[in-house]
Amino acid sequence: MDAQNPIYVTGHKNPDTDSIVSAIAYAALMNALGDRRYTAARLGTVSDETAHILERFGFEAPERIYNVRTQVRDLNFDRPPVLSSAVTVRRAWEAMLKSSSESSSLPVAGEDGKLRGMVTTGDIAAFDLESSENPNLDEIPLFNLVSNLDGRLWDGNSAVTALSGELKIVVPSAGAEGEFYRDMIVVTGNDPKIIEDALSADVACIVICSAQMDASIAAHAKRTVLITTPYDAYRAARLIIQSVPVERILPKTEPVAFRLNDYLDDVREQTLKSRFRSYPILDETDQVVGTLSRYHLLRPNRKQVVLVDHNELSQSVDGLSEAEILAIIDHHRLADVQTGAPIYVRNEPVGATCTIVASMYQERGIMPNRKLAGLLAAGIVSDTIFFKSPTATPRDRLMAERMAAIAGESLDELGRDIFTPSATRETDARKMLLSDFKHFVIAGHKLGIGQINCIDSAELLKRRDEFVAVMEQVKTEREFDILLLMLTDVLREGTVLLSVGDLDTVEEAFNVRIKDNTVFLPGVLSRKKQVVPALSLLWG
């Protein structure tokens, strides 16, 4: 899988078992077909029921993502060389010329890989001009200087590691004698008289612009460093100046840097406030991984997603408008998700998205392994409420039976395992309310519906006052007109409905009388097919 650009397969917010399982199974199918970029994702906390099913079949919960907004990591940014802060100005200039980056700057990092700054062609040019006016050099590492000169360091004062002093080019001329002093770096030709006078003055360094030198001269050097170079005097002087470590010419101001996880909108805003041509990019450990220029922002790569078990913006991942939707696999009504280009859409009137995904395995001739087949069977059983939901179809049962056969599972045993403990696994009422929760906007009215499937609604009803109190809090926080909690009883084949908000509308929609925020609705098992339509008729 391409870790940099995965294709996220994600269900809806507050994911139920069908949403989580269909994401896992669809990603596995596409990976099996050869495209290894698909990865299952989730938008919320897995319910206790889902966690139990995943554990039963040996699966981890998918990666949680919070949005699919475009980030720096999605851009085709440059990956130029990252210079060590110790390299010479000359090497920095050569690296800049060789870099495939169109930028005129390169990042500089310390030994720890952490950013020290950005060096630009302008920085080097400014340094070059300044050094021409003031040729006094300070603490140039000796090895830097020898390397830049492509020179030979003659045996002499081994204690010297850095050189300082005034840079001076000396050629044979009247009056040259007596002009030398200790803090001086002399560049000259292979002239015995000049070299002798310079050695007598104990200058810091003599750079002899000749490939040859009388070896006996080195014996007369006390503190003077002797270097020979094949370059002429002018070239050698420039190279000595360019032996300065690049970190010394970096701007003193803190560089503007971005991180891989920064969002494109924030980056655009920041670049408008500055005038740099290139910006360093850091990873999670503050290591430099590339550079960013304004032209990279013009055509960003959008994140790619596949939506399963939903096609409604309010239920989908934040930032969806910035992403590229590749496909939708769903069994709900068509809603308001829009795309900029044709995509693959598979929307079928069955009881579970897992039924559709299992069918896709069959159609492509790929048999899921035992664990995945068991997981798909559990997803179907869960979302169809053991085939008692009005959305359940014969095809749901057929696919569940086939997956259970591959997994070596009994559907009856699987159903009991899913629903029997679901009422007692979770003790936090708010978490139970929101674990499988969806909200709708119908003709300007805001509706929230949570659902808990169980085989003993009476046990859950012992906590009615606790549930109602939490429902009132959530209704106020999220400004719902009506908030409902469906305690869907598989054995009774109906739902105990807890309601807060506009109870008159609820009573009219279902032709019932609500007492203590509670009413039993026989035969009502489906949120999307029975509860939402009943309220839509009144509000629509």
Q: Which homologous superfamily is 74-127+248-297 in?
A: CBS-domain (3.10.580.10)
Q: Could you give the dihedral angle defined by the CA atoms of residues 385, 389, 393 and 396, in that order, rounded to the nearest 10 degrees?
A: -10
Query: How far, CA to CA in Å, does 22 sit from each of 10, 191, 240?
Result: 9, 85, 66
Calpha distance 161→237 (Å, rounded): 19
For residue range 340-378, what is the model confidence (pLDDT) as tens digits?
899 999 999 999 999 999 999 999 999 999 999 999 999
Instruction: Please state which of the four CATH numbers 3.40.1390.20, 3.90.650.10, 3.90.1150.10, 3.40.30.10 is assigned to the domain occupying 150-242.
Output: 3.40.1390.20
In CATH, what class is 7-70+303-419? alpha beta
User: What percentage of residues in the chain have a pLDDT greater than 70?
Assistant: 95
Calpha distance 351→71 (Å, rounded): 37
Where residue 220 falls among pLDDT bands split at 50, 70, 90? Answer: confident
Contact between residue 206 and residue 189 where contact means Cβ atoms under 8 Å apart: no
If DSSP states are collapsed to H, E and C, what string results for 213-253? CCHHHHHHCCCCEEEECCCCHHHHHHHHHCCCEHHHHCCCC
| Highest-confidence segment of 95-99, 159-163, 394-398 | 394-398
For residue range 274-327, what is the model confidence (pLDDT) as tens digits?
878 889 999 999 999 999 988 888 888 899 999 999 999 989 999 999 999 999
Nearest to 50 by CA among 382, 356, 294, 282: 382
Which two three-digit tokens encode residue 460? 């859950």
For residue range 412-442, what is the model confidence (pLDDT) as tens digits?
999 988 887 444 545 689 988 988 898 899 9
**DSSP states along 364-433:** TT-PPPHHHHHHHHHHHHHHTTTTTSTT--HHHHHHHHHHHHHHT--HHHHHHHHHSGGGTS---HHHHH
Listed by start position, the domains of the chain span 7-70+303-419, 74-127+248-297, 150-242, 424-539
pLDDT of residue 103: 61
Mean pLDDT over 92-111 rounds to 82
Average pLDDT, the chain: 89
Where residue 175 falls among pLDDT bands split at 50, 70, 90? Answer: very low
Give CATH for domain 424-539.
3.10.310.20
For residue range 334-343, what is the model confidence (pLDDT) as tens digits?
888 888 899 9
| Equal CATH topology for 74-127+248-297 and 424-539 | no
Q: Which of 75-84, 207-216, 246-255, 419-428 is predicted least confidently?
A: 419-428
pTM of the model: 0.69
Nearest to 23 by CA among 309, 255, 215, 412: 309
